[in-house]
Amino acid sequence: MESIKDKYNEIKRQIPDYVTIVAVTKQRTIEEIKEAFDAGVKIVGENYIQEAMDKYRHIDGLQWHFIGHLQRNKVKDAIKMFDCIQSVDSVRLAIELDKQCAKLSKVMPILIEINIGGEESKYGVKPEEALGIIRQIAELPNVHIEGLMTMEPYFDDPEQARPYFRQMKRLFDEIKSQNIPNVEMKILSMGISNSYEVAIEEGSNMVRIGTKIFGPREY
């Protein structure tokens, strides 16, 4: 059976050097995360604050990215652990992040989550509202916008996701061209285990991979 290290190295061989891998560690054990770290994983992505708190203190040397839906009442805990919040989906959430980060004299890197498929089951900013929302969030001194993130509609055939990735790249480029102060459009986080190759072809430079590194989850 392939080890986590083998799987991670296989993905690294497949993708360009400029693409960052975020290992999605939702429902993964501390042992699995340590094995991934030893294999070369530098960034992990967590979906739930409580689960992340249980793991965070056991492993040094990793960057922690929050990729789930962040409730405002969990912001105080989130900013103590995470190096980046990839899932900022409202001005209200950004204001709370800014307020809590100010108390710690911290500036939090964030990505703006876009609901590129317009799915009611998913969080995220509507693409047509993104620029206006980003201009508002850019006024906040203790958060720093570094790009966009999306969770594309799921298809068994990732080719069907290509138009959504392409639309994300167009939006990313459009916002970047505005040269908004306090907005550094350098990260486009899109693509998961079954779609990362197509996402990279369409401009992603950060992919969030769980199953392809760790294998299927045991429920």
Domains of the chain: 4-214 (3.20.20.10)
Q: CB under 8 Å to 145, separation ≥6 — which residues?
A: 110, 111, 112, 134, 137, 138, 182, 183, 184, 185
Q: Which of 117, 116, 99 is nearest to 107 (CA)?
A: 99
Going by pLDDT thresholds of 50, 70 and 90, the confidence category of residue 218 is low
Average the pLDDT over 208-218 and give the result: 91
Average the pLDDT over 7-33 and give the result: 97
Q: What is the pLDDT of residues 53-103, one digit of tens each?
A: 999 988 889 999 999 999 999 999 999 999 999 999 999 999 999 999 999
Where do the DSSP E strands lie in the chain? 20-24, 43-46, 63-66, 84-88, 108-114, 143-150, 183-189, 206-209
Burial class (CB in 10 A: 0-12, 13-18, 19+), 59: middle
Q: What is the pLDDT of residue 147?
A: 99
Q: What is the pLDDT of residue 215?
A: 92
Going by pLDDT thresholds of 50, 70 and 90, the confidence category of residue 217 is confident
Average the pLDDT over 47-56 and give the result: 94
pTM above 0.75, yes or no: yes
